[in-house]
Chains A and B, each alone.
Chain A
């Protein structure tokens, strides 16, 4: 032992060692005994959570006929971190997938680029190639073991039994960033309903994803089921959905509208169920499935005829002569006319609105409807609005206008239908007194100023859906049920009563029946179906008139109410009416007996006519 004056420093040095070791032991104590969170993290680390995708609910029509089913599709996924770990046979993988080395690199870059693939992480499976057929993955399936981190997943895509109802059904596509943020059910690469029924009933249709938990190493090699599968959850298939659509009627309606721009909406009046809804032009729903989806979607998006727009719910037209039915009902309810009130008609010489039809004078209500007599409805409207004159700064006139507007609105016009599964509706427009006050000043407008409204022209706008619903309300003699697609009972109870008493409807029904037997619709009538209807020809400042029709059948016990709008077609009686009668015939009899008419309507090409303008 060396005696030196620094010998006490051995305690300092020893003390440093003791302090360090003790502080480390303290740290260990906190890490291992106090802190319990790391145990769970280690378990999470050791798991590979393999998502099991549920099959999406099937969609049927009102008769239980299958409309939308599922088909299997394959996708190749990669866990990038595992591929880096050892020499990776890229060329072998390219051969197995039948892709070039260059396209491999491009796909790889796209997949790992967080701008294109927001949820990218090298630790979890990423989709390398989506939408492959069984044949395309067959070779890789056999050699998969050679490529660590590469896997093949089965997904399901939509399969359609008929190429119809694209607007109603919507489609299924990959979720976007927004969806993922709003609903943490979704992960990148998941599918969800985009538009239509698929979107409205997404939560019912999608089912519940399941999970299989495996033990794995950091190279992703599965070492076995985690805790003997206790954590596994099977996927739950989505609920099937029964729609109110009648497949055959929908199909006929779509055939009738091919090469035309416009729409058809058919509703079962007693239930509000939509029997058919066509917006033309449309597309084959199969085009928005799988590999071709995005290219086809872009094509639809660029199409100048705007096929993606659902004209049945979003196109807005003046209702034209179809509006005369409501005018008659408001006047009857108001008491300003009786069914027997007659007005004179001077034919072409009538002022301020001339009559376009050739008939006797004076006419009563039934004949006025049958002949779609413009002077009759102008006189009716005028007398209703100015029955108390223009005293007190038009106060009573405006009051009558508001009363009129309120009754019209009670038929479902001027607002979107709430609490329904029909998406993307337009509101239409019922002009308010404020609107006219702004344009003409408080006292600047009278009945004569807004005379166009009397015959459904002017500022008023309706959608085909509103027209069909209005037809249903007329068929029901004073009430309607919010139109909808789902064939369950819950939506049938959403009854809206109009402000017109049921007693006033009989005369209107008779008038609408006469339209079909003696008036503008007489060429297309099928007497045993007791059709009632009203045609409309809407002036279109941009070109040829739009053809409109509303109607229902049979008169005694209405089963179907229908509205047809064909843009730029000309007379309602020539185009919209025959199409509507064919739709009603198909629905009520289950077949088309007038094959020549059906052929003529189907083959007519009015879209080019529209395009020329």
Chain B
């Protein structure tokens, strides 16, 4: 009993309050967006708001139970949970009904569950368990092989077998925890640089050069790679000599290209590859000569980026499905399609924008009430907030999420054991990723990727999944007090 009392006293009530405020606000908005004019009662459990209330109540109960379970269970049973989860993920597409091309839903009696929503939690536990084992340290990327596998396997299953790109991408968020544990920052920078290069290549890919042949996208992205390498050489390696030689070589490459172009039309895509190859080879020689591994990283960056630039044009046109391609084109402003692919986002922006400062008031949003935004109680629920609660409500919700995430980081940092800390960082990363992608999509800043807003979107699986995720963290955190005492 003393244990339970200390658990209650050790619980981080800030997190619970934030969770409850967000979840109840979400429920209000689900009620708002699924409201119809002939609805009789707010307590009607056959409608979405009523169901969500049931989900929420059960989620709270579930959270309570988790708080009572011995925290060591997660550490001990982590791999077993993870293994069972993988089996479930693989089994799901076999039994699942096809819902809009996705094979991620398991139907048991009246309840439909999406196992992918729970996979995040168990993957986080497994990763935390592995990375917290005695003597484990992240020195270089090789040490991260197992965590990468733990992260990548469920991700691959969800993406390939279940065809749920959005849910799969969420696993990328574990990189944040890896980073905190010592993974080189280059990986994150690479991620950002890759996205940037992808956008440049696609956005300018169909524009011709004013001279020769080839496309503007490749030229711009190549220039960007050169600039980054130059920046790294000067700023990080403090190697002025290599920087100058490299820059001169690139200029010579392009100079020859332009010169030849006077007589024969030159494909500058090849000039770009030649200049990058030159940079890679030159730096590789320097790395070996100077015995500098950091120089090797730069070579890796050049090679991967080059492959990316050349590859993503191909991938964009040949691997991505048509609707995905159109979504990206619309987002990058290359296509205008207010009734097609751009319809959802366009309507969502109208809904949010029309809310103005204070919003139209609860149940007063025409965009929401008149059902212009599809999926408005799931992925697009932030529209309802924007429309009915205005800037104050929507910015307020964002700040609530920020407060929750920062609180979780704070909790993570105060842990005394690595398992709890890594797990908490995984939770922070997952929440940050969901909020970023979901709201970024609704605000028209990111492509349409269907993932729910944590604790907010309609849906039992997602609410249960996030609640379990959070409750386990709270349980681990509460145990910290015991550890201090013991």
Is chain B a partner of chain A in the same complex?
yes
- Asked if A138 is at the interface (CB within 8 A of a chain B CB), the reply is no
Q: Are A45 and B406 in contact (CB under 8 A)?
A: no
B301 vs chain A, min Cβ distance (A): 20
Task: Output the nearest chain B residue to A9 by Cβ-Cβ distance.
Answer: B180
- Asked if B353 is at the interface (CB within 8 A of a chain A CB), the reply is yes
Q: Are B354 and A18 in contact (CB under 8 A)?
A: no
Task: Output the nearest chain B residue to A47 by Cβ-Cβ distance.
Answer: B366
**Known contacts A42-B367, A216-B370: A25-B352 contact under CB 8 Å:** no
**How extensive is the interface on chain B, given as a class?**
35 or more
A402 vs chain B, min Cβ distance (A): 64
Q: CB-CB < 8 A to B425: which residues of A?
A: 13
Task: Output the nearest chain A residue to B366 by Cβ-Cβ distance.
Answer: A46
Q: CB-CB < 8 A to A4: which residues of B?
A: 182
CB interface residues, B 351-380, toward A, < 8 Å: 351-357, 366-367, 369-372
- Asked if A99 is at the interface (CB within 8 A of a chain B CB), the reply is no
**Known contacts A25-B398, A28-B352, A43-B366: A1-B416 contact under CB 8 Å:** yes
Chain-A contact segment, one of B4-12, B115-123, B238-246, B438-446: B438-446
How far apart are the CA atoms of A33 and B354 in the complex, in Å?
Answer: 9
Q: CB-CB < 8 A to B351: which residues of A?
A: 42
- Asked if A37 is at the interface (CB within 8 A of a chain B CB), the reply is yes
Q: Which of A28, A29, A42 contacts B366 (CB 8 A)?
A: A42
Q: Which of B180, B347, B406, B443 contacts A17 (CB 8 A)?
A: B406
**Known contacts A14-B406, A17-B406: A33-B416 contact under CB 8 Å:** no
How far apart are the CA atoms of A514 and B148 in the complex, in Å?
Answer: 118
Chain-B contact segment, one of A217-225, A338-346, A590-598: A217-225
- Asked if A41 is at the interface (CB within 8 A of a chain B CB), the reply is yes
Q: Which of A38, A46, A217 contacts B349 (CB 8 A)?
A: A38
- Asked if B455 is at the interface (CB within 8 A of a chain A CB), the reply is no
Q: Are B353 and A37 in contact (CB under 8 A)?
A: yes
- Asked if A16 is at the interface (CB within 8 A of a chain B CB), the reply is yes
Q: Which of A10, A25, A32 contacts B180 (CB 8 A)?
A: A10
B125 vs chain A, min Cβ distance (A): 19
**Known contacts A13-B179, A42-B366: A31-B349 contact under CB 8 Å:** yes
- Asked if B312 is at the interface (CB within 8 A of a chain A CB), the reply is no
Q: Are B391 and A17 in contact (CB under 8 A)?
A: no
- Asked if B158 is at the interface (CB within 8 A of a chain A CB), the reply is no
Q: Are A20 and B432 in contact (CB under 8 A)?
A: yes
Q: CB-CB < 8 A to A13: which residues of B?
A: 176, 179-180, 409, 425, 428
Q: CB-CB < 8 A to A27: which residues of B?
A: 443, 445
Q: Which of B176, B339, B352, B370 contacts A32 (CB 8 A)?
A: B352
Q: Are B356 and A33 in contact (CB under 8 A)?
A: yes
How far apart are the CA atoms of A46 and B368 in the complex, in Å?
Answer: 10
- Asked if B151 is at the interface (CB within 8 A of a chain A CB), the reply is no
- Asked if B402 is at the interface (CB within 8 A of a chain A CB), the reply is yes
Task: Output the nearest chain A residue to B176 by Cβ-Cβ distance.
Answer: A13
- Asked if A215 is at the interface (CB within 8 A of a chain B CB), the reply is yes
Q: Which of B350, B370, B391, B418 contacts A38 (CB 8 A)?
A: B350
**Known contacts A13-B409, A24-B443, A32-B386: A218-B357 contact under CB 8 Å:** no
**Known contacts A32-B356, A45-B370: A9-B405 contact under CB 8 Å:** no
A34 vs chain B, min Cβ distance (A): 9
CB interface residues, A 106-137, toward B, < 8 Å: 121-123
Q: CB-CB < 8 A to A219: which residues of B?
A: 371
CB interface residues, A 384-416, toward B, < 8 Å: none
Q: Which of B350, B387, B415, B443 contacts A41 (CB 8 A)?
A: B350
Contact with A along B396-418 (1 / 0, CB 8 A): 00110110011001001111111
Q: CB-CB < 8 A to B387: which residues of A?
A: 42
How far apart are the CA atoms of A33 and B359 in the complex, in Å?
Answer: 11
Q: CB-CB < 8 A to A35: which residues of B?
A: 353
Q: Are B371 and A25 in contact (CB under 8 A)?
A: no
CB interface residues, B 216-256, toward A, < 8 Å: none
Q: CB-CB < 8 A to A9: which residues of B?
A: 179-180
Q: CB-CB < 8 A to B372: which residues of A?
A: 45, 218
Beyond A6-B180, A12-B185, A28-B398, list 17 extra A-B contacts (CB 8 Å). Answer: A10-B180, A10-B409, A10-B413, A13-B428, A16-B176, A17-B405, A20-B435, A24-B398, A24-B443, A28-B352, A28-B395, A31-B352, A38-B349, A39-B356, A42-B351, A45-B367, A45-B370
12 contacting pairs across A/B (C-beta < 8 A): A1-B415, A2-B417, A5-B182, A6-B181, A10-B409, A24-B398, A28-B398, A32-B391, A32-B394, A39-B353, A41-B350, A42-B350
Residues of B within 8 A of A (CB): 37, 176, 179-182, 185, 339, 347, 349-357, 366-367, 369-372, 386-387, 390-391, 394-395, 398-399, 401-402, 405-406, 409, 412-418, 421, 425, 428, 432, 435-436, 439-440, 443, 445
Of all A-B residue pairs in the complex, the 3 with the closest CB atoms, nearest first, are: A38-B353, A42-B354, A46-B366
